[in-house]
Amino acid sequence: MDVPFWVWALTIAAIVGMLVFDFVGHVRTPHAPTLRESAIWSAVYVGIAVVFGLLVLWFSGGQYAGEYFAGYITEKSLSVDNLFVFVLIMASFAVPRELQQKVLLFGIAFALALRTVFIFVGAAAIEQFSWIFYVFGGFLIWTAWAQARGGGHSHDEEFKENAALRLARKVFPTTDEYHSDKMVTKINGRRYITPLAIALVAIASADILFAVDSIPAIFGLTQETYLVFTANAFALLGLRQLFFLIDGLLDRLVYLSYGLAVILGFIGVKLLIHALHENELPFINGGEHVTVIPEVPTWLSLTVILITLLVTTVASLAKNRRDAARGLESPTGAGDAAAAGEGLVAQGPGDRDPHARRPDQAPRSPHDAPVTDAPEHASSGSPRHPG
């Protein structure tokens, strides 16, 4: 697939433009998006991705269009699974609902930049070393096994801080209070980073781990760098809206992890078969290609991915229906369904007011009221110095 420079430039400019539009039009003014707003813009971004795929079909043919759609659907599915971790992060840092959009959008922009680097490094590695397909395939099969063995996610899980977060807290002075939508604030003439910035570091560092299995997976479906990049970009662009759309429904997808395990395992096997066809390792068939097993065609990859996701979704909904019939409590509660039906703001575990009084706490005095955007000369929160 020969993609001229101007097409690359136009594509990147369009993606950056969509990120800027997202920030200016939706994120710059903090607000909690409604279900209707999230649904409309999720549909818009999916529509843009589909239109792009149709353009690939028109200009490059069905083979490349099939590879793009297979990659896009896989990346989108993995992104939904990643939302579980984002929910845990928002809850762990008690990020106010109206500020979550900013954390997500900045995190997505970082993720896209990081994955672009990974994509070009991966493409260069594949170009130079055919045996890298063995590494990618084996890693995806191991990831699939770990995914199936670990089962699903739950909102009852706790987010555990990683090395990047611990380093950020150690190097930079931090405050425990949110200061509107500021990442950095001044207290007594000194700069502090806020919990919003820490939450952003958590989202960004989590995506580094997500990219480790995401990038090999899509290289198993297409080796065209342009398609790998665009499939990743379009899958990530609508992630912010998707978070607010299905936040309260994530726990209902009880079998999603198993479905993704099947998809990753299938792609891993596909990569190993491709590695055998490209084999140059002297200890395998004397360094000759192994073509006994035919390569998996794109149409079959796309079919397996779609059927797996369909079966996973139907099975998850059926289980929730059976649990409801037995009188078991729905994972997300009846309140979420009622809110969804009325078009209210979607509520999720990140809605907790960090200043809210617990039932076992005594009422605050007027002097204990949190300061949300204190002047530079006023002390706010409990600033912590690196030590």
Tell me the domain boundaries of the chain: 5-130+151-248
**CA 79 to mean position of chain CA atoms:** 4
Phi, psi of 152 (to 5 degrees): -90, -175
Cβ atoms 68, 230 nearer than 8 A: yes
336, 244 in Cβ contact below 8 A? no
Task: State whether residue 193 is helix, strand or coil.
Answer: strand
User: What is each CA distance from 209 to 82, 233, 260, 270, 385, in whole angstroms?
Assistant: 10, 17, 16, 22, 29
pLDDT at residue 248 in the model? 62
Instruction: Divide the 387 residues of the chain into consecutive groups of 10 and give the mean pLDDT of each group.
Output: 92 94 79 82 93 96 95 90 81 83 87 91 89 90 86 53 66 74 78 83 82 87 94 90 76 83 92 89 86 89 91 89 73 42 42 42 41 40 51
C-alpha pair distances (Å), 269 with each of 137, 144, 274: 6, 11, 9
Beta bridge partners of 193: 174, 184
Sorted by sequence, the CB contacts under 8 Å of residue 336 that are 6+ apart come out as 248, 249, 346, 347
Alpha-carbon span 178 to 160, nearest angstrom: 21
Q: Which residue has the tokens 């970009």?
A: 233
The first and second tokens of residue 226, run together, are 């342009």
Say what the pLDDT of residue 354 is: 42
The β-bridge partners of 184 are 193
Question: Which pTM value belongs to this model?
Answer: 0.74
